[in-house]
Structures are given as structure tokens and as C-alpha cells.
Amino acid sequence: MTKRLLIVEDDPGLQSQMRWCFSDDLEVAVADNREAAMAALRRHEPEVVTLDLGLPPDPGGASEGFALLDEILRLAPQTKVIVVTGREDKENAVKAIGMGASDFYQKPLDADILTFVVNRAFRLAELEQENQELNRQNNGANIKGIVAASPQMLTICRTLEKVAPTDVTTLITGETGTGKELLARALHDLSHRATKPFAAINCAAIPENLLESELFGYEKGAFTGATQSKKGKIESANGGTLFLDEIGDMPMPLQAKLLRFLQERLIDRVGSVNPIPVDVRVVCATHRDVRQLIDSGDFREDLYYRISEITLDVPSLRERDGDALVIAHSLLKSLGKQMERPNLTFSECAVRAINTYGWPGNVREMINKVKRATIMAEGKRVTASDLELEAPTSSGQDAINLRQVRETAERQAILQALQSSGFNMAQAARLLGVTRPTLYNLTDKYRIETSPEASSAG
């Protein structure tokens, strides 16, 4: 991306000397008074501004320069402002730094030093931007491995953070591929048990006759083939967390045995009469409707109450506002890196397709599609067809002129950014690549509500 510099200088001679210093590498705008400088700031959004403090109507003093410095930092606080002062004007330089200027430079002009100071400011701006981008990717979830921006998932993450340090038995429900196991691992990682084992077992994947010995272990000679004793999953999780996936598929006889374990915290290995005490935190998950299973007599109600001291209902991807795109971006980045295809981006049609598709297989399905696209994409742009998705028709198709197309797209992008950021204006502005004041102007212009309540009511 081209770097942009704004030179605020009222002396035409100095203006052209400074322009000459930089115009090869940078996009340079020049302003000779406060009003012109603010207009240029809004228009070009320069990362760096050099600001001569002695501007008209106070060219001999610094009042106008300070007023402008203040205005710049209020409108675009991330801008790196280098104040240019007179030869012996240390006092004003110090005052400007105190107000938030990032550096100062004293006249007379020395091209080498000025270039050095300006480049350093660009580097600083770049680092700050990278840092912000990293924070954005760390996303609202703030839990390792979980990418989320939707208010629905952020609420789940905050609940998870509160529940994790406790030992309460937690039931995680949600469609397949929504991230139930990921959340179970996060519960473990954020608990005091984090350094102890996390043992997972999928109750639906193991034949009924083997599940009991898998869970509870067995003693030597307990059955044909039991040539030596073996610990079960529950025992191997001792001190840590036991994750029972697809608990809704657990056979009835084992439900009774599990209930006894949850009540007494003792296990009986198959073929043993000596109960063994085990200290585990239990987390269960299911994609099935447990209430329905209870009604149909396939799940014990007493066990249900035991395992659901806290329930986390994970919404499907299509129910989460803005998550699909945020997760897709994150996957494209990580898979692109893994497959040595960095710097891939989604085309506009891919973005629309990701946002409109229903994702029946949720995040797991998305991983497969993005993986495929990472392999198939020609060039740097991933298209909807690389993702094996249908490209939805452009929403601007029926618009009668370019302005309408632009406004429709702008409005949609703003709504999307607000939803993705949980209506955090600073974060939404960053997502859109505009300043916060610009975003406020745009939400006013399009009469977009800036709070989640108001927007869902509307």
C-alpha cells in the first residue's frame, strides 16, 4: 500500500523542498493552513503529517499550529505528527510532544535528517497497524483457538471464562461442527486443571460392548482377551478433565453407571470389586436434543440434571452475526500459511457467498471448503467457485446509477462491520479502514443504529 504523507507548511519554498525530498516514495499532499490541512487529512488519511507550528494567521507564533495538532489528533489519533519548529524553539517542541505529537524536527531543513525522522514515523505507524491487526485477529473471543466476533459467541466465551475455573459439570450442546470440542478444551485450558490430562471419548463412535471398558477400564481376566488390567478414560483423566462427546448416544445401562460415578466419584473397573476414587471435571457434549431423548425414554432425566449444572448452547454458524466471514478469513490465513500459499484473499463474490451460504456443517464444513479453495485458487484471489459455493447475484444489480450501487454496498459493509465487532465503533471503523469520526458520519448518513438493541428492534 502506498504510504501517505501530509506536509503542512505555509512557506512555498520549504513546501517544494519537502515535496522534492519525498515524492518519489510517498503519496504527498501539501496544505498551507489549518482548514486545508484538515480537508487533506480527511481526504488522504495520511499516516504521517509534518506540521509547521508557525501557520497563518499566527506565522510568528505557534498558536495555530497547536490548534491544528489538537484537531488532527482528535479526528485521527493514530496519525503520527512530526512538528516542525524554529531553530531554538525547544519549548514548543516539548509542548507538542506532550500533546501527542510523535516527534519534532527543527529548522533549517536538512533533507537527510528529515527523511530519517519521517521514515521512522512511518515505521511506527506500520507497527501500530500490525499490532491492531493482530489484536483484531485475536478477535473478541480472546480465548486461544476460538475465532469469534458475533455477540452470540462472545457471550458464550464470557460465560466460559467464568465457568472454567470452577469444577461444575458442563453440558455443551449445538449442531455438529459448531466447535463444542474446542470449547470443552478451552474449559480445560482455562481451569486450574490445565496442566493435567484432558481425556476425550466419543460415546457414539465406540460399540456398546466396548464402551464400558473404555470408560471404566478393566481388570486382568475380566473377559476373554483381558490379559492384563487397563485404566479406562475416566481414570486416565485423573486430576484433569474428562470430555464425554455425544453423551446423548450413551447406552442406557452405562448411563446408570456414569450417574453413580458422578454422584460418588468412584469407579469400578470391569471385573473388579474395589472402587477407585477419581478426581475429574466432567464436560459433556451432544448435537442431539436431550429433552427429546428424555421424552422418548432414551436418556435418564436424573443423569441430565447431573451433567448440565451449566449448559452452553452453541449457535449454528448461520445464526451468528458476522462470524462466518471472520472465521473464513482466519482459516484462509492459517491454511494459506500451512500450504505455502500466503497472501490469499477472498474476492467480493466469495465474501458474498460466505455470508449468504447456510453452512449446514458449520465450521468443520468451512475448514474443508477453505482448504479446497487454498489449493484451487489461481492467483491471489479466492473465488466463490474455488470454495464450491454459488456466487450470489450482486445486491447492486437493480440500482439505477453508480451512486446507488456504492451507497447500497457501503451501507451493507457498515452493518456487517458493526455486527462483526459487536457494535464496537472503534473496532468496526478499523474493520472498514475508516476513522471513527468517519464511521459516525456514515452511520448518521445512512441512519444506521449504532447499538445492538436498537438495530435488532429495527
Ligand X SMILES: Nc1ncnc2c1ncn2[C@@H]1O[C@H](COP(=O)(O)OP(=O)(O)OP(=O)(O)O)[C@@H](O)[C@H]1O
Q: Where along the sequence are the contacts to ligand X (CB under 6 A)?
A: 146-148, 174, 176-182, 245, 285, 287, 327, 363-364, 367
Q: Cβ of residue 235: shortest distance to ligand X, in angstroms?
A: 23
Q: Cβ of residue 176: shortest distance to ligand X, in angstroms?
A: 4
Which residue's C-beta sits nearest to ligand X? Answer: 179
Q: Based on CB atoms, which residue is closest to ligand X, 93 or 141?
A: 141
Q: Based on CB atoms, which residue is closest to ligand X, 147 or 417?
A: 147
Q: Based on CB atoms, which residue is closest to ligand X, 47 or 214?
A: 214
Task: For 103-136, give one letter per residue: b (16+ CB within 10 A) or e.
Answer: bbbbeebeeeebeebbeebbeebeeeeeeeeeeb
Q: Based on CB atoms, which residue is closest to ligand X, 54 or 140?
A: 140
Three-state secondary-structure class, residue 262: helix
From CA 24, how far away is CA 106, in angstroms rounded?
23
Which residue's C-alpha cell is 490465513? 333
What is the end-to-end Cα distance of the chain in Å, rounded?
38
Do residues 315 and 174 touch, judged by C-beta distance below 8 A?
Answer: yes
Q: Cβ of residue 335: shortest distance to ligand X, in angstroms?
A: 11
Q: Cβ of residue 182: shortest distance to ligand X, in angstroms?
A: 4
Which residue's C-alpha cell is 485450558? 189
Q: Tell me which H or E stretch contains 433.
A: none
Q: Based on CB atoms, which residue is closest to ligand X, 61 or 360?
A: 360
53 DSSP 8-state letter: S
Q: Cβ of residue 368: shortest distance to ligand X, in angstroms?
A: 10
CA angle 83, 84, 88 (to 5 degrees): 120
Q: Based on CB atoms, which residue is closest to ligand X, 372 or 436?
A: 372
Q: Cβ of residue 344: shortest distance to ligand X, in angstroms?
A: 18
Verify cis geometry, omega within 30 degrees of 0, for the bond prior to 57.
yes
Q: Cβ of residue 243: shortest distance to ligand X, in angstroms?
A: 9
Do residues 415 and 320 touch, judged by C-beta distance below 8 A?
Answer: no
Q: Based on CB atoms, which residue is closest to ligand X, 367 or 391?
A: 367
